[in-house]
Structure 1
Amino acid sequence: MTTVQVLDWISVVLLLLGALLSFAAGVGLVRFPDLLSRMHTAAKPQIMGLVLILAGLGLRLFPDTHMGMLVLVLLFQILTVPVASHIAGRVSYRTGRIRRDLIAVDELEEQIDPR
């Protein structure tokens, strides 16, 4: 087996694992009961799946592609997805669209004044 074939197999494994994590995130969005659980499954496995997919693409397309583009995609996703989830969580909390019976510890209740 040559080095190129080994890199191809590693790339295939990384792509499949990334696709599996992204699929799990999609299933979690449909199956989880409340907004906060859905936000968690949208952010965590999706980012990890993207990391694995980009690593697989980087290995497969290494000499032909600009690795900087893959790094930029990863960087922007890692920076924006958690911030967007945090903002969506705060908005949903303030508007009362979360199920308070599923929250074990509510640290925001004393910090946000009710209006």
Structure 2
Amino acid sequence: MTQAVVAGLVLVGTVFGLLGAVGLLRMPDVLVRMHASTKLATLACGLTLAAAAVHFGSADVTIRAVAILLFLLLTAPLAAHMIGRAAVTTGVPLWRVTAPDWLCRRRDAPEGDDTADRAGPLDDTPRR
């Protein structure tokens, strides 16, 4: 029974890893590509680590797998956020459907224009 659980976890983890790779190749801009690769790669690694913990069944392997998974869950979103922020601030061209956010408007605002700081994330109207 354990072999079937391990095989299922590895298979599902492999499918999610493959979907992440396809998303990395097929998505239109850097932000959407990064979202697909980060979320699916984290899920694939988590499932593979769960498979390793179930397969070996010892406490030390399970503790290591949980520690690695926690490290991934803490660092992957932070790294994706920083890479996305760097892409937006350096002016990487985005897909035409991607809505510009306050960071884009603030970067392009003239000196002394405080309306750019108050603009909402998806619209051009200032907040009250």
Q: Which runs of 5+ in 1 are unaligned?
A: 1-5
Output the CA distance in 2 between the equivalents of 1:114 and 1:104.
15
Higher relative contact order (CA 8 A, sep 6+): 1
* TM-score normalised to structure 2 length: 0.76
Q: 1:31-70, aligned counterparts within 5 Å?
A: 31-63=26-58, 66-70=61-65
Output the CA distance in 2 between the equivalents of 1:70 and 1:97.
36
Q: Percent identity?
A: 30
User: How large is the Cα RMSD of the aligned pairs?
Assistant: 1.9
Query: Which structure would you say has the larger Rg?
Result: 2
Partner of 2:108: 114
Partner of 2:5: 10
CA-CA distance at 1:109 after TM superposition: 3.6
Output the CA distance in 2 between the equivalents of 1:63 and 1:85.
33
For these two proteins, the number of residue pairs brought into alignment is 109
Q: Which runs of 5+ in 2 are unaligned?
A: 110-128
1:70 aligned counterpart, secondary structure:
helix
Output the CA distance in 1 between the equivalents of 2:95 and 2:3.
48
Runs of 4+ that moved beyond 6 A: none
Output the CA distance in 1 between the equivalents of 2:91 and 2:75.
24
CA-CA distance at 1:85 after TM superposition: 0.5
Q: Does 1:25 align with 2:11?
A: no
Instruction: Determine if contact 1:36/1:98 at 8 Å carries over to the other structure.
Output: no
Report the AA paired with residue 35 of structure 2: H
* TM-score normalised to structure 1 length: 0.84
